[in-house]
Structure 1
Amino acid sequence: MALKATAVEHIHCDQGEVTGSYLLTPIQQWFFTNNFPENNHWNQSISFELKQTVDAGRLNEALNEVCRQHDLLRTRVLPGKAPRYADILPFAYTERLKTVEIPAHDDYEQRMQQELTAFQQSLNLQSGEVFKGLLIVSDTWSSSRLVLTAHHLVCDAVSFRFIAQDLLNSYQALIDKREIRLPQKTSSFIRWSNAVEAYAGRHEAVSKKNEWTKEIAAHSRNTKKGRSSADNLEGDAEQCLFSLSEEDTAKLMTEVSKNYSIQPIEVMIAALETMLHERDGADHSIYLESHGRDMLADQVDLSRTVGWFTNLYPLYFSADDISNTGATLKKVKDRLAAVQKRKFEFMLSDCPREAMDIV
């Protein structure tokens, strides 16, 4: 182990308030290229059931402390068809919590859905209102409900873990009349944006981006075409839900990995592609997603940074790739390993989002 160990350079992270403009990162720019009908309503949310009585004033103070700590929650994006920059505003104390009391004689479920819908629609990128809290109190229930919502442009699922932890710690400190002490900041999102921009111009990144350009051109002519973007609406989506038994789950997690040296995600991709092949026998591409926080790890520490770091990248399959189960699994494993070596560079490339249809 000592022979394999290498020195890791400490990454200094600014602990002060971070403000200013930054270039939108690839995933943020991807968001705006979709031309959604309502850019303000594309949120990530979590909900808590609160068994104890909550001091709404202290909770609002705690939400402000979270925004003070996590600078990207103060983001503003000025209007435009395809904005390239965003601003992180200076911290200012404001009402970030809305409290709603639902009387016992009201239809609780209906009223709650109305309040939640209005709350989710209240975010505003232009004014910098990208993170809020909603406290729902009712005599009908012994507990209250706290909902936190943030625009996806500034928050991913991983971020909410830090947000929830810091909110709880801040609130408890305020209740106990103690000094609020939160964990040290990691690299700012502005630093991440600068690192991505610098890397995009390096020879290694340019070479991998060129590989994507060639691959897209080679495969897009043969890829099965999906529905037009005009018809690709969330309201038209269908769900197919199923679950594995405990026995089948054990086989997926252990026996398959042992016999084929393959990961569960590779098994599921192979199953999906086999089904698509049986459906129409055509070539396909699917988009894969990763959290993205492992990229440029020698330059930035994103272990506790609030933001949106998702990677999206396509995985192409020819109809000739699908044969017997063992061969298909091996093909998926090899192809996924190859594409993951340049997954980050796809979002950095000039390949249009529609170049390979999403399944």
Structure 2
Amino acid sequence: MRPELDTFATAGFLSVSLDTQTTRMLLGEVPAAFHAGVQEILLIGFALAMAEFLGTGAPIGIDVEGHGRQDEIAPDIDLSRTVGWFTTKYPVSLTVDPLPWGQVVAGEAVLGTLVKDAKEQLRALPDPLTYGVLRYFNPEADVAGFDPPIGFNYLGRLSGPGSGEPSADLWRISPRACR
């Protein structure tokens, strides 16, 4: 980021909503086409937008936060019956060549090459679950102090497949709570 320009006083807020078809593509068709996860595709899109904003091909430092409930923590650990907030937080350095936004929107072939390259960069990272342990419990590890100024948080989907709306049966008020 540019500390001389990027200050609280110059900060803004942008909210964008996607239509159902675009959302369906972003959460289903695009990840399937690239054999990638939704988070990978969203991170790559985020990096593309930052590359466009910064106008360079320099690596982009992103502080990635996740829900921390990965099934692969250990084969004998079942997190499905736990309550509470787990979080993984780890830095990612992602390099994407800036593309003219017209090529991104048009979905030109060069975009596919960029997505595949960025996906491989993300998959080459060490296990994100171990970063916090390394940083906070191993004083010999020299990873403290690298906190990217940009954060990214995708906690997943709350709705059923393809519905576009949260499922009513996810959240119900217990009859006992109404007494």
TM range (shorter): 0.5 to 0.7
Per-residue deviation, residues 60-95 of structure 1 (Å, max 9, x unmatched): xxxxxxxxxxxxxxxxxxxxxxxxxxxxxxxxxxxx
Q: Look up the match of 2:61.
A: 285
Per the alignment, residue 32 of structure 1 pairs with none
The TM-score normalised by the length of structure 2 is 0.57
Q: Percent identity?
A: 27
Equivalent runs, 1:204-223 vs 2, <5 Å:
none
Structure 1 residue identity aligned to 2:61: S
**Counterpart for residue 357 of structure 1:** 148
RMSD (CA atoms): 3.0
Offset, 1:236: 7.9
The superposition leaves residues 189-237 of structure 1 with CA deviations (integer Å, 9 ceiling, x where unpaired) of: xxxxxxxxxxxxxxxxxxxxxxxxxxxxxxxxxxxx4549xx977x986
2:30 partner amino acid: V
Q: Residue by residue, what CA displacement relative to the aligned partner does 1:171-199 show, whole Å, maximum 9, x if unpaired? A: xxxxxxxxxxxxxxxxxxxxxxxxxxxxx
1:342 to 123, 127, 136: 127
Q: Supply the AA of the counterpart residue of 1:283.
A: P
Deviations 1:282-324 (A, max 9, x none): 32111212222235333543322234320011221235x5553
- Aligned residue type for 1:358: P
Asked if the contact 2:95–2:118 (Cα under 8 Å) also holds between the matched residues in 1, the reply is no
Task: Establish whether residue 245 from structure 1 lines up as the match of residue 38 from structure 2.
Answer: no
Question: CA 1:342/1:246 → structure 2, altered by over 3 Å: closer, same or farther?
Answer: same
Which structure is higher in strand share?
Answer: 1
Q: Do the aligned partners of 1:287 and 1:312 also contact (CA within 8 Å) in 2? A: yes
Q: Does 1:333 align with 2:122?
A: no
Pair member with larger Rg: 1
Structure 1 residues 291 and 232: alpha-carbon distance in aligned structure 2, compared to 1, 3 A threshold: farther
| Secondary structure of residue in 1 paired with 2:92 | strand
Secondary structure in 1 aligned to 2:79?
coil
For residue 343 of structure 1, what is the amino acid of its counterpart?
P
- The amino acid of 1:291's aligned partner reads H
- 1:276 lines up with 2:65 in the alignment: no
Unaligned 5+ segments in structure 2 are 100-109, 136-142, 151-179
Distance 1:355 1:232 in 2: 20
Alpha-carbon contact 1:290-1:312 (below 8 Å) kept: yes
Distance 1:288 1:344 in 2: 11
- Preserved CA contact (<8 Å) 1:283 1:318: yes
Counterparts of 2:59 and 2:31 in 1: how far apart (Å)? 27
1:316 to 77, 82, 93: 93
SS in 1 for 2:78: coil
Q: Which has the higher contact order (CA 8 A, sep 6+)?
A: 2
What TM-score does the superposition give when structure 1 sets the normalisation length? 0.31
User: What is the Cα deviation at residue 278 of structure 1?
Assistant: 1.6
Change (3 A) 1:232 1:303: farther
Deviations 1:111-164 (A, max 9, x none): xxxxxxxxxxxxxxxxxxxxxxxxxxxxxxxxxxxxxxxxxxxxxxxxxxxxxx
CA, structure 1 residues 259+299, in 2 after alignment: closer, same or farther (shift >3 Å)? closer
SS of equivalent to 2:80: coil
2:93 match: secondary structure: strand
Instruction: Give the equivalent residue in structure 2 for 1:297.
Output: 74
What residue number does 1:122 align with?
none
Residue 346 to residue 250, structure 1, CA distance change in 2 (3 Å): same
Using a 3 Å threshold, how does the CA distance of structure 1 residues 306 and 232 change in structure 2: closer, same or farther?
A: farther
Residue in structure 1 matched with residue 35 of structure 2 by the alignment:
261
